A and B are shown apart, each in its own frame.
Chain A
Amino acid sequence: MDHALIEEDALLELYAQGRLDPEVEEELEAHLVGCATCQEELIAVRGLARGVRRVASEEAARLVVQAGIASRLRRTFSGPGRWGWIAAAALVVLGALAATYAARMASENRELRAIVAAQGPGEGAGDTEGTRTTPKAPQDFGERDRLAALEQTLPAAVGTVVLLTEVRGADDTPPAVDRATVGGPFALAVYVLDDPRFSSYRMEVVGEDGTIAWQRSGVTPNAFEALMATFAPEFFAAGEYELRIFGVPDEGGAEPLESYRFVVL
């Protein structure tokens, strides 16, 4: 198999995604095993693919966090007292500064916004049967209206999105969900790197005493590679909890992956 054919037909890209015909795949592998150049190329293909997915995931996370902030601001502005109005005025000023700054950055982040626009609104895994969303890219990446619509949709669907991250040390404080302030359903979200070993994931919320407060199998990452579950605020009693993620391969069983602590107030 010669390099011109491999390049022209993007065989390494297709091989990395498992999309080659078996005969071609066999032929390519016979060549790949002894070809240092193609090995380097394949490693690059895999790194690039992983990076594109992670960029999309990070930008999606940023959008979700911004959506949560927008939701919080709306609640802050509803019925404030005297000091509330002062704080609100300060927020307006700061918000304007942030918006100006964000607008300047927007031109530099066009490609990143395009990813988000290409995905459309993400589906919370807790609200679906867990089928993977197949995102369709818009024909026009300048579709600002579509992006604006997306930004409007997320906070409306869920009051607050709590993005859970690992708590690495005893001094780290786990994120808190204040039931008095979430003002409606809230979502727990974690990000998972696309792992070909697993066809789905299992989510479990475990209480302080080790009992399982909630669990769901067959969860798949949404278009932003996030696992999300939505809860009514009264679902949890006050206390500390742990969200555990397991990878579930086709063959069955489950491999524990990550665990995330959070506190419900």
Chain B
Amino acid sequence: MTGQVEVLLDTNLCMAYGVCVTTMPDVFDTPAGSPVAVLRRDRVEAHDRDELEEAIRACPAQALAMREPPS
């Protein structure tokens, strides 16, 4: 459970609601005019894991997931 986790965004599901941006603006963004969210970075530190899990839960399109990065 230590170390970074990888953020996964399924752009086929994403609706660019922006709910994730309100939780983690340093990880997600919904640029004006973009039909989907973008990742500002694809790794988060272990201590941000709870917030990432909240963003994953809150996504109405179920477009977010996380996984342990391949070592």
Do they bind each other? no
Which residues of B line the A interface, CB within 8 A? none
